[in-house]
């Protein structure tokens, strides 16, 4: 069909939908300096997470890996690493792996520079130079197969599984058929529907991918129970229940609708960046927004389709998030936060295919530079990296 | 959105479902709703209790312990007998997953 978008070509051949300079604090303790730099310099975004020190080694590796993947995203043109100087994150590896992408990378250290004010000054100078170096880059035509789309549902109600997730499933199938990559997650919301996903795994339910799907659900269920509690009271959320979702199974069965119908190629780890993977993939993530949006941006996704019924307003600093709203009342009430009205499916005014095609067109526009509602409002300040172990 | 009065509809996702989801405001006990099934069929059902927008009703009598079916799959079990047309939610059904006591 020859679908294309206009993107920024990166040294590794990928195409970004945005041309951002990423401020990357290596640790939570560097956030205040990073935020001062980010506020001052146009064209920057910050990954202001809360990890990077006093954690188990496996979690520190995960934090370093995730920050590397965030910086590798094609939406990131250049990076400024803001280090404190005594953190547990491997800042040398972060810097080396980002430099290996061929993108401009700068690094400042708060302790080495003599404190907060000197670090802010040096950081503003560095970020300004990076923005001015990359801001003149022009967009180029890219084939749709270069797209990595992430998908997610949040603040769900019963319209999500019956309208907005159906629309995302339609777009997911279309992108997979066009040779692109689609990634979905929220392992918590496979509970009760994991057999359906396992049946769709390449190699079937008993193959390695099918078994891995059962395994990640089992591990997640056991993590919750290891604390002597079960998930009721936390999942579904009070808002889900007020919206008519009666159990985690109902929430899950509605949630997996957004993955469409294509075979599942494999399971990605939380920090994993996709390189050659095409088709539909699962990423093992929790359902909460700040952590899963980080994981999806770290996948290298140029954008996200986000389904909601009750109205989730947030996005992510380096990844445009297009809101597909299944509830017609919410779409009217939150018209400045929602992008596509899938509530017309509930009222019978439009079909899944009609809203799906409309969403696909919006997706191409957003990939080419059109802002989503949350982007225009800069509603993307909360992000975090999901870690498994305790803070020690 | 148009000004026409909203249809009092309830959607059944899968032919195996024993529940349908109401998408109409202010449904009161004794009201009738139009059930739309996945084959395009339509019939009416009297609702036995007040049901909020986006919440479910039983399409037929469901016995205590029986699975509650939506999307053609189990979403939990009935905690007591639920007659056709009655409100189905956390007060009379229980999840069977994500809990440590089963």
Tell me the residue range of the domain where A194 lies.
Answer: 142-376
B13 touches chain A (CB under 8 A): yes
Cβ-in-10-Å burial (0-12, 13-18, 19+) of A379 comes to middle
Q: Is residue A11 part of a domain?
A: no
- Say if residue A171 is exposed, middle or buried (CB neighbours under 10 Å; 0-12, 13-18, 19+): buried
Q: Do A295 and A268 contact (CB within 8 A), yes or no? A: no
Domain assignment of residue A291, yes or no: yes
- The reported pLDDT for the residue numbered B6 is 58
Q: How far is B49 from chain A (nearest CA, A)?
A: 15
> Does A12 map to a domain?
no
Run of H or E residues at A338: none
- Kindly state the tokens that stand for A222: 């056991």
What ipTM was estimated for this complex?
0.93
| Residue A27 belongs to a domain | yes
Angle between the N-to-C axes of helices A57-72 and A91-99, in degrees from 0 to 180, rounded to the nearest 10:
20
How many whole angstroms separate alpha carbon A180 and alpha carbon B76? 36
Of B11, B56, B97, the CB nearest to A246: B56
Nearest to A247 by CA among A223, A258, A231, A229: A231
Dihedral-angle region of residue B85 (phi above 0 means left; psi in -120 to 50 means alpha; beta otherwise): left
State how far the alpha carbon of A109 is from the alpha carbons of A104, A259, A379, in Å.
17, 42, 28
- Specify the CATH number for the domain of residue A146: 3.40.50
* Contact check, Cβ <8 Å, B89/A332: no
Q: Chain A within 8 Å of B68 (Cβ-Cβ)?
A: yes
* B16, B69 Cβ separation under 8 angstroms: yes
Residue A228 with chain B: CB contacts under 8 Å: 100
The verdict on residue A3 lying in a domain is no
Does the pLDDT value for residue B76 go beyond 50? yes
**Taking CB atoms and an 8 Å cutoff, what residues of chain A touch B88?**
246
Nearest to B93 among A247, A253, A328 (CB): A247
Is the domain of A343 the same as that of A204?
Answer: yes
A163 and A264 inside one domain: yes
Q: Please indicate, yes or no, if residue A381 is contained in any of the structural domains.
A: no
Q: Does B26 touch chain A (CB under 8 A)?
A: no
- Are A321 and A206 part of one and the same domain? yes
B89 in contact with A, Cβ within 8 Å: yes
Domain count, chain A: 2
List, in order of start, the domains of chain B with CATH numbers: 9-94 (2.30.130.110)
Contact: B54, A243; criterion CB under 8 Å: yes
Residue A4 in contact with partner chain B when CB distance is under 8 A: no
Tell me, what DSSP letter sits at residue A154? -
**B77 near A CB under 8 A:** no
**Is B50 in CB contact (< 8 Å) with chain A?**
no
Q: Are residues A114 and A263 in the same domain?
A: no
> Are residues B95 and A253, on separate chains, in Cβ contact within 8 Å?
no
Residue A243 near chain B (CB below 8 Å) = yes
**Distance between CA atoms of residues A240 and B70, nearest Å:** 16
pLDDT tens digits, chain A, 392 residues: what are they? Answer: 589 999 999 999 999 999 999 999 999 999 999 999 999 999 999 999 999 999 999 999 999 999 999 999 999 999 999 999 999 999 999 999 999 999 999 999 999 999 999 999 999 999 999 999 999 999 999 999 999 999 999 999 999 999 999 999 999 999 999 999 999 999 989 988 999 999 999 999 999 999 999 999 999 888 877 877 777 667 888 999 999 999 999 999 999 999 999 999 999 999 999 999 999 999 999 999 999 999 999 999 999 999 999 999 999 999 999 999 999 999 999 999 999 999 999 999 999 999 999 999 999 999 999 999 999 999 999 999 999 999 99
Predicted confidence at residue A373, as pLDDT, reads: 98
Put simply, the answer to whether B70 touches A253 (Cβ < 8 Å) is: yes
């Amino acid at each position: 069909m020859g679908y294309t978008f206009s993107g920024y070509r990166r040294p590794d051949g990928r195409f970004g939908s945005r041309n951002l300079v990423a401020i990357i604090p290596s640790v939570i303790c560097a956030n205040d300096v990073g935020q001062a730099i980010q506020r001052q310099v146009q064209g920057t975004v910050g990954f202001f997470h809360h990890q990077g020190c006093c954690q188990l080694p496996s979690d520190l590796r995960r934090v370093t890996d995730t920050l590397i993947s965030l910086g590798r995203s094609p939406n990131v043109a250049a990076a400024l690493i803001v280090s404190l100087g005594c953190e547990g994150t491997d800042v040398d590896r972060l810097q080396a792996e980002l430099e290996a992408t061929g993108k401009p990378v700068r690094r400042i250290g708060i302790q080495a520079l003599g404190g907060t004010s000197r670090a802010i000054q040096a950081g503003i100078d560095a970020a300004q130079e990076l923005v001015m170096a990359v801001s003149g880059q022009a967009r180029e035509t890219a084939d749709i197969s270069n797209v990595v789309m992430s998908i997610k549902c949040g603040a769900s109600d019963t319209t999500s599984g019956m309208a907005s997730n159906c629309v995302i499933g339609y777009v997911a199938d279309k992108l997979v058929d066009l040779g692109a990559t689609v990634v979905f997650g929220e392992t918590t919301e496979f509970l009760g529907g994991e057999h359906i996903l396992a049946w769709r795994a390449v190699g079937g339910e008993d193959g390695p991918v099918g078994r891995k799907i059962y395994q990640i659900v089992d591990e997640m269920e056991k993590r919750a129970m290891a604390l002597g509690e079960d998930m009721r009271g936390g999942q579904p959320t009070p808002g889900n229940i007020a919206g008519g979702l009666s159990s985690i199974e109902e929430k899950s069965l509605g949630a997996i609708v957004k993955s469409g119908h294509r075979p599942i190629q494999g399971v990605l780890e939380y920090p994993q960046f996709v390189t050659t993977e095409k088709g539909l993939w699962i990423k093992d993530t929790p359902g909460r927004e700040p952590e899963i949006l980080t994981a999806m941006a770290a996948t290298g996704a140029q954008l996200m389709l986000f389904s909601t019924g009750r109205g989730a307003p947030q996005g992510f600093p380096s990844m445009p998030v297009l809101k597909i709203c299944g509830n017609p009342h919410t779409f009217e009430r939150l018209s400045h936060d929602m992008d596509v009205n899938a509530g017309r499916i509930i009222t019978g005014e439009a079909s899944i295919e009609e809203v799906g095609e409309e969403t696909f067109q919006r997706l191409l526009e957003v990939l080419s530079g059109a802002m989503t509602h949350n982007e225009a409002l800069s509603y993307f300040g909360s992000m975090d990296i999901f870690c498994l172990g305790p803070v020690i | 959105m148009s000004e026409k009065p909203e249809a009092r509809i309830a959607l059944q996702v899968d032919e195996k479902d024993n529940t349908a989801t109401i998408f109409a405001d202010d449904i009161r006990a004794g009201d009738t709703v139009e059930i739309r099934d996945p084959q395009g069929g339509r019939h009416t059902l009297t609702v036995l209790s007040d049901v909020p927008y986006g919440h479910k009703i039983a399409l037929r009598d469901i016995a205590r312990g029986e699975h509650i079916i939506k999307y053609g799959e189990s979403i939990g079990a009935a905690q007591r007998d639920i007659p056709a047309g009655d409100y189905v939610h956390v007060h009379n059904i229980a999840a069977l997953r994500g809990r440590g006591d089963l």
